[in-house]
Amino acid sequence: MEIDSIVAELRQTFDSGKTRPIAWRKEQLRNLYNLIIDNRDRFTEAIFKDVGKPAVQVEVLETLCVANEIVHFLQNLDDWLKDEVVQTMPPFENWSPIIRKQPKGLVLVLGTWNYPLTLTLLPFIGVIAAGNTGILRPSEFAPATADLLVELFPKYLDASSYRCVIGGREAAEALLKHRFGHILFTGGLKVGKEVMKAAANNITPITLELGGRNAAIVSDKANVRLAAKRILWGKAAAAGQTCFAPNVAIVHEAVYDEFVGALKDYYTEFYKGKAELPSVGHIVNAAQFSRVQSLFSSTKGKVILGGELNSTTRFIEPTIITDVNLDDALLQAEVFGPILPVIKAKDIEHAQTLAREITPEALGLYVFSEDLDEANKVINALPNGSASINDVMGQIAPTSMPFGGFGSSGFGAYRGKASIDTFSHKQSIVTVPTVPEFENMLEWRYPYADQEKTVEFIRANMLAPLPPQ
């Protein structure tokens, strides 16, 4: 019943027009910025409690990421919300055709647990900026962060416009019974399908941010040691629980030994010879730990680094596995843990073939090569949501870059201007002249016109010629 009343209140607020003024939206964005900065130590503590994420990672990948995104919106929102002048054909230029961005109404954001601040608040920034009211439902698997958001929302944001609702599957199902202007879901494919079905019942537009198996391809033209350093970091960050993390490293056989050697060197440098929980983090819960442990137990590959798993602390040591066959368990699923299989490719074309087989429709693709033509050729050849050359997860760092998947890794995008596009309805508007001279040009459409002469006029004056080749 509480959800019903919240939905009714927020829908009423939207209908009142309260959230539409741009100045009001900016005020709410500033309040959200203060929510983050004023409580950054509390968020660090909560996120560590939920997922064991080290303080530096929380600061950079959570609080700083969200705060800087808000600043980026405040700097650009006026331009992003301007009416777009449409380039049209000469007969319609004096109709003043424009596209106006209108808020969609009440928007629902269903967050996830692995980045409990970033992947809940980044889309919510766009909800506010586009002039909507919004409900945020954080993941129940990050309860400390969710509780903190519920506490802070009414202290900083307008409670008649924005609410944070906690609860598990029942809460989500209760929310999804309602009609929304838009729904954004971040999570796994199975639940994503359920959310999509629920949205279809109300013909609700939806954005799905799902997982995927991402490949890191290392060419023989790469800076091999730097590639190893960056791939190891990306795989171990947040205990491997990042949807954009590499799921497999595919390495040109000419530099394979050098790459593996560099992994060993940087492993020693990163972890002083032995990785511990405070520097890596832990798996979020027992069910997720058991799933990753099962994948690890099923692999037929060779463990060359790491390999320690502790079910009590849910700690998994960053682990590198070689000699992996294509049918290995680690290549059949998104690992979502700090375990990286490394396989050989005969050449760059073979690497593409392997990536296409192992990581179809990846959320992210990473190509390491000093030959940018080669790198871009690989990126263009493989289906992926986004890509980074000579780094992992680099494409999600710049504030202006759309964040989204492709195919089974999701569809739709947000961040920066893409958030405005996602959470706004693009309304086509024309202003048709009323002067007599213009009305004379429209005489053809009225039923009293001479049909034969009208057809001749249309063919002579209204058919556009093909442009020159």
Domain boundaries, the chain: 2-210+414-426, 214-397, 433-461
- Judge whether 20 and 82 are in contact, CB under 8 Å: no
Letter for the amino acid at 360? Answer: P
pLDDT of residue 1 exceeding 60: no
What pLDDT is stored for residue 11 in this prediction? 98
CATH for the stretch 214-397: 3.40.309.10
pLDDT in tens, 101-151: 999 999 999 999 999 999 999 999 999 999 999 999 999 999 999 999 999
What pLDDT is stored for residue 372 in this prediction? 98
CATH for the stretch 2-210+414-426: 3.40.605.10
Share of the chain above pLDDT 70, in %: 100
pLDDT of residue 407 exceeding 60: yes
This prediction has a pTM of: 0.93
**Which one of 243, 317, 334, 361 is the catalytic residue?**
243
Dist CA 205 CA 441 (whole Å): 39
Dist CA 145 CA 51 (whole Å): 10
- Judge whether 357 and 207 are in contact, CB under 8 Å: no
pLDDT in tens, 162-209: 999 998 888 999 999 999 999 999 999 999 999 999 999 999 999 999
| 456 given a catalytic annotation | no
DSSP 412-460: -EESTHHHHHHSEEEEEE-----SHHHHHHTGGGSTTS-HHHHHHHHHH
Closest alpha carbon to 251 in 344, 367, 346: 344
Report the relative pairing of strands 98-103 and 84-85 from DSSP bridges: antiparallel
Upper half-sphere CA count for residue 467 (Cβ side, 13 Å): 2
Residue with the bigger pLDDT between 398 and 37: it is: 37
| 243 given a catalytic annotation | yes
Dist CA 452 CA 189 (whole Å): 59
Lowest-confidence region among 204-213, 279-288, 333-342, 458-467: 458-467
**Which one of 209, 317, 334, 361 is the catalytic residue?**
209
pLDDT in tens, 259-293: 999 999 999 999 877 778 778 889 999 999 999 99
Chain-wide mean pLDDT for the chain?
A: 94
Share of the chain above pLDDT 90, in %: 84
Taking each continuous run of H as one helix and of E as one strand, the counts in the chain are: 18, 20
What pLDDT is stored for residue 437 in this prediction? 86
Letter for the amino acid at 325? Answer: N
288-297's contacts with Cβ under 8 Å and 24+ in sequence apart are 288/241, 288/314, 288/336, 288/337, 289/314, 289/316, 291/336, 292/316, 292/335, 292/336, 292/337, 292/339, 294/329, 295/329, 295/330, 295/333, 295/335, 295/337, 295/339, 296/330, 296/337, 296/339
pLDDT in tens, 220-261: 999 999 999 999 999 999 999 999 999 999 999 999 999 999
What is the rounded average pLDDT of the residues 437-466? 84
Ramachandran area for residue 465 (φ above 0: left; ψ -120 to 50: alpha; else beta):
beta
pLDDT of residue 375 exceeding 70: yes
Token pair belonging to 219: 């060419």
What is the rounded average pLDDT of the residues 360-374? 95
Rg, the chain, Cα only? 26
Calculate the CA dihedral of residues 63, 209, 158, 152 and round it to 10 degrees: -40
